Structure 1
Amino acid sequence: FNMQALQLHVQREAELNPQASYYNVAVLKYQVSSQDPGRAPLLLSAECQRSGTVTRVSLDYHCCPATAPSTQLTAVQVLLPLDHTASDLQCQPPASWNAEEHRLLWKLPNLSPTNHSKGSGTLCASWQCLEAPRGPPPSLAVQFVGSGTSLSGTEVELVGSRYRMSLVKKRFATGKYMAGCSL
C-alpha cells in the first residue's frame, strides 16, 4: 500500500462523515473474464423460436457448485427487451412488464448451488408481433451478486503492525451478461 495515500483517503472520509466509527476502503477490485463456461457461477442456456409473428424465448439457468460451492447468488435479475409491437404476452414464471422500456423483468429468489430445487429453473416468455421479426433474436441480460467468496480465490493480507483490517468482504457481481438466443 501507499500508506500516505491510504491515510489521505481515510482523512477525507473522516471529514465527509465525522460521526462514523469506521470507514470502508475498497482495497482490491478486479475483473475476471473467461470463455470457459465451467468457471461461471450461473450456467445459462437460452433458446428462441420464431414461427410467423409469434416468438417464444426460454432460458434454463443452473448454479454451478464447482465455482462457488457455498455461495448464494442474490439480486438475480433477467431482462428481456421486446419489440415495441409485442402483444399477447405470456410469461412463466410471471415477470414484470415495463411498458415504457418495452422489456420484461424477472427477479429470482436467491439461488443456491447446494439446493437443486433453488439453484436451477427455466424462464419462458412468448408474444406476438404485428409482423414477422426480421432482425436478430432478442438478447437476455442477466445480473447477480455472490457474497462471501471470490471466483479467483484471491486472498488479501495486510502485513505490518500500524494498521489492521477489521472486516474483509468478498463479493463478486456481474456487470450485464448478455445471453443471445439461438434459433
Structure 2
Amino acid sequence: MVLSFPAGITRHFATHPTQPVLTFSISNYTRLEQVLPNPQLLCCDSTADGLDIKEFWVNMPNLMSHLKKVAEQKPQATYYNVDMIKYQVSAEGIQSTPLNLAVSWRCDSTNTDLRIDYKYNMEAMAAPVPLYNLQFLVPVDGVMARPQAMIPPKISKVMYKYSAGTSLHVITAGVGALLGRFQMENGSCRPSQLAVQFSSEGSTLSGCDIQLVGIGYRLSLVKKRFAAGKYLADN
C-alpha cells in the first residue's frame, strides 16, 4: 500500500509544523498475511489483532522529515509516493486465483505438442476486472529444428503474448487454449513449468479497503491494482 502526497504539502508542513495525526483503517484485514508496516512511519494497536478492521496512525515528525528529504532529491516531482504497508494475500484453492491454468504435453522423438488451457476466474476478485498484458512463457527442453520468430537462437523458450490493449475476458469470454507443435532435433523433450504474467487495474484480490479516520485530511483518489508475480503451472 502506497500513499501519494502532493508536492505542496511540504510547504504546508513547513509553515504549520503542528498537524493532526494522519490515521486510516483497513477493512477485510483478516485476508492479509505477513503484514509489514513501514517501521519508521506507521504505528498500530497490536492488541486489536484478529479484528476485520485494523487502524494505523502515522508518525508525523518522521513523515514530515521523509517528505522534506524526498522533495530535496526530486524537486521537479508533483507527487511523492510513500510505501506504507507490504503484505501477502491468503489464497485457498483454485477459486482464489484470477487465471486458472492446465498444461498438457505430448513428447516423442521428433515432435513436441503443447496445450495450455486457461480460464478467467472473476470469483477471485473483489470486483471483476479484466486481465491485461498477458504473457505465457514455457521452456521447451531440447533443440528445435525450426525455431519460430519469437524464439531467439539457442534459447528454447516459447512465448505467447497478447497485445497490450487486449483483455482476457474479451478473448473467447475468458476461456480458451493455446496450442503449439515443435519439431525436435535431438529427441524427446521433458515437460517443464509454465510461467504467466498479467496485470489488472480497478480491483484487488484481498478485497481490502482503506478509509481515513478523523479530520484534517482527505483521499482524492484510490487506485487498486494487482499483477502476477511468481505465477506458475505444472503439467
**Counterpart of 2:146 in 1: which secondary structure?**
strand
Query: Which stretch has the larger CA shift, 74-83 or 7-16?
Result: 7-16
Q: Return the offset for 1:71.
A: 0.8
- Equivalent runs, 1:36-115 vs 2, <5 Å: 36-68=93-125, 69-89=127-147, 96-99=150-153, 101-109=155-163, 110-113=166-169, 115=170
> Which residue of structure 2 aligns with residue 127 of structure 1?
182
Letter in 2 for 1:54: N
How many Å separate the matches in 2 of 1:7 and 1:53? 66
CA distance in 2, matches of 1:25, 1:169: 14
Q: Partners of 1:153 and 1:65 in 2: how far apart?
A: 13
Counterpart of 1:159, as a letter, is V
Q: State the AA in 2 paired with 1:117.
A: T
- 1:30 paired residue number: 87
* Offset, 1:144: 0.8
The question of whether the paired residues in 1 share the 8 Å contact of 2:140 and 2:191 is answered with no
Please list every run of 5 or more consecutive structure 1 residues that lacks an aligned counterpart in the other structure. Answer: none
TM-score between the two structures when normalised by the length of structure 2: 0.65
Percent sequence identity over aligned pairs: 37
**Where do 5+ consecutive residues of structure 2 fail to align?**
1-57
TM normalised by structure 1 equals: 0.81
Q: Which has the higher helix share?
A: 2
Distance 1:130 1:96, change over 3 A: closer
Within 1, Cα distance between the matches of 2:123 and 2:72?
44
Name the structure 1 match of 2:229: 175
Query: Structure 1 residues 28, 147: closer, same or farther in 2, change over 3 A?
Result: farther
What's the offset of the Cα at 1:24?
A: 2.3
Greater C-alpha Rg: 2
- Please give the alpha-carbon distance, in whole angstroms, between the structure 1 residues aligned to 2:218 and 2:68: 16
Contact 1:63 1:111 in 2 (8 A): no
Over the aligned positions, Cα root-mean-square deviation in angstroms equals 2.4
1:117 aligns with 2:172: yes
